């Protein structure tokens, strides 16, 4: 994930969390808000419940991989803050990916669906 697509500023994190919409499941909490940019931006937060710094970074890398794999399939311009919940540490990569996609499908428009609506 390029730095262009990352939310790092703490003011941006606070703005998205305080004013954005929210979706939850057992593994993730996702806050999102429209941005005025032609691309999505993501911020990732992993709490200490997941484990030590090594474990938290491992889950961040997994989540970045999931985002990179799926971001080409969707069309929108939003900022996301993705918070990994403590229950996610018991799940493998495929389960984390499935949980993430189930939430993102509620927010985003898939390119295939958009193409079907124009036919």
- Residue that wins the pLDDT comparison between 66 and 73: 66
Name the nearest CA neighbour of 100 among 57, 69, 56: 69
Q: Is the pLDDT of residue 72 over 90?
A: no
Length of the chain: 119
| Whole-angstrom Cα Rg for the chain | 14
- Residue that wins the pLDDT comparison between 13 and 1: 13
Average pLDDT over residues 23-31: 93
Q: Residues of 24-51 as b/e, b for ≥16 C-beta within 10 angstroms?
A: ebebbbbbbbebeeeebbbbbebeeebe
The 10s digit of each residue's pLDDT in 89-118 is 889 999 999 999 999 888 876 665 545 544
Give the model's pLDDT for residue 118. Answer: 45
Give the domains, in start order, of the chain with CATH numbers.
3-108 (3.30.230.10)
Question: Is 58 in contact with 44 (CB distance < 8 Å)?
Answer: no
pTM: 0.84
């Amino acid at each position: 994930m390029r730095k262009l697509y990352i939310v790092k500023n703490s003011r941006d994190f606070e703005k998205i969390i305080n004013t954005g919409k929210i979706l939850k499941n057992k593994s993730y909490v996702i806050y999102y808000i429209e941005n005025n940019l032609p691309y999505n931006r993501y911020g990732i937060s992993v709490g200490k419940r997941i484990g030590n710094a090594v474990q938290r970074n491992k889950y961040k890398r997994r989540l970045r991989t999931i985002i990179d794999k799926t971001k080409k399939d969707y069309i929108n311009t939003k900022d996301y803050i993705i918070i990994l919940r403590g229950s996610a540490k018991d799940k493998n990569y495929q389960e984390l990916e499935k949980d993430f996609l189930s939430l993102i499908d509620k927010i985003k428009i898939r390119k295939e669906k958009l193409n079907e609506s124009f036919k």
